[in-house]
């Protein structure tokens, strides 16, 4: 029986993926910062355990708990993350570091912790959750897009590094999804004294309103993750949601000026 380890499994994409793989007969190591809040532990062959990707000790403990329970980790889903938006000037250095520590450094530490077990077996898959925001950008998203562009680059490099060892790397790029991304998983910074950025904030609100009018469900992303994990070919990137396909196709087809102009057009009333 195969085993999946998920970070950020308390809700949204992480929880939907845990349920999707469990339904297929997989063992699931569902990790989150507050295990007491999860109802996944009631399911057979599911281990719910604490993991904070910014806490190295919790990473090591969770991986070891999974190995002790199931004997192996066949698939790592790096899902934990959040979005920080706002003018760069409005963010303290601590908040900047928190965004990169969670979305990038935490992902790297998780991967590093699991790789020795996969390398020993010459088998395994790492699926990293990126975003359409790893290929395109929106206003006031300097920090979030910086992290997701990093996830795209490090994942592609790891693909070369790990393929000869029998370990596959996959990138999943969701579009707008019905999750808590805009709630507790959203860090918006705006200093009222920085009035010069007020028009950009208003434009961002209009843009997000238009783009999120028909978001996909977390289950849509979970299905794409299932496909990415089980695809026998060498495809690296998998899109999740029709909006992701449409926007990323347009980004590839247009030059920078044309695409940026099309995004600006969506910011207007």
Q: What is the pLDDT of residue 181?
A: 53
Q: So what's the pLDDT on residue 211?
A: 84
Predicted confidence at residue 191, as pLDDT, reads 84
Catalytic positions are 130, 144, 148
φ, ψ (nearest 5 deg) of residue 186: -125, 130
- The two tokens of residue 193 are 């004294």
Specify the pLDDT at position 147: 98
Q: Is the dihedral of CA 172, 173, 177, 180 positive or negative?
A: positive
- Which residues are paired to 186 by β-bridges? 83
CA-based torsion, 227, 133, 79, 18: positive or negative: negative
Spell out the domains of the chain, with CATH numbers in brackets. Answer: 3-266 (3.40.50.720)
pLDDT score for 145: 98
pLDDT of residue 184: 56
String of DSSP letters for 112-178: HHHHHHHHHHT-EEEEEE--GGGTS--TT-HHHHHHHHHHHHHHHHHHHHHGGGTEEEEEEEE-SBS
Q: What is the pLDDT along the chain (269 residues), one digit of tens a residue?
A: 999 999 999 999 999 999 999 999 999 999 999 999 899 999 999 999 999 999 999 999 999 999 999 999 999 999 999 999 999 999 999 999 999 999 999 999 999 999 999 999 999 999 999 999 999 999 999 999 999 999 999 999 999 999 999 999 999 999 999 866 555 567 888 888 899 999 999 988 898 888 888 899 999 999 999 999 999 999 999 999 999 999 999 999 999 999 999 999 988 86
Q: For the sheet with 237-240, list strands across it.
A: 46-50, 27-32, 3-6, 75-78, 124-129, 167-174, 237-240
Q: Are 229 and 127 in contact (CB under 8 A)?
A: yes
Measure the CA–CA gap between 76 and 66, rounded to whole angstroms: 11
């Amino acid at each position: 029986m195969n085993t999946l380890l998920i970070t950020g499994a308390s809700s949204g994409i992480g929880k939907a993926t845990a349920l999707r793989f469990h339904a297929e007969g997989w063992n699931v190591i569902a990790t989150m910062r507050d295990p007491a809040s999860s109802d996944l532990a009631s399911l057979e062959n599911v281990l719910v355990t604490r993991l904070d990707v910014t806490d190295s000790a919790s990473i090591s403990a969770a991986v070891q708990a999974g190995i002790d329970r199931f004997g192996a980790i066949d698939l790592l889903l790096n899902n934990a993350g959040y979005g920080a938006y706002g003018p760069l000037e409005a963010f303290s250095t601590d908040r900047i570091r928190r965004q990169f520590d969670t979305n990038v450094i935490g992902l790297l530490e998780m991967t590093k912790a699991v790789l020795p077990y996969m390398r020993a077996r010459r088998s395994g898959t790492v699926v990293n959750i990126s975003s359409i925001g790893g290929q395109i950008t929106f206003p006031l998203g300097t920090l979030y897009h910086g992290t997701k562009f990093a996830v795209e680059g490090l994942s592609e490099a790891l693909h070369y590094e790990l393929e000869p060892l029998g370990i596959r790397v996959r990138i999943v790029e969701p579009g707008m999804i019905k999750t808590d991304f805009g709630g507790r998983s959203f860090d918006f910074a705006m200093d009222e004294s920085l009035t010069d950025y007020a028009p950009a904030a208003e434009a961002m609100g209009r843009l997000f309103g238009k783009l999120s009018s028909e978001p996909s469900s977390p289950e849509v992303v979970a299905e794409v993750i299932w496909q990415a994990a089980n695809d026998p070919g060498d495809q690296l990137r998998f899109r999740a949601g029709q909006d992701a396909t449409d926007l990323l196709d347009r980004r590839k087809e247009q030059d920078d000026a044309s695409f940026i102009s099309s995004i600006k057009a969506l910011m207007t009333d």
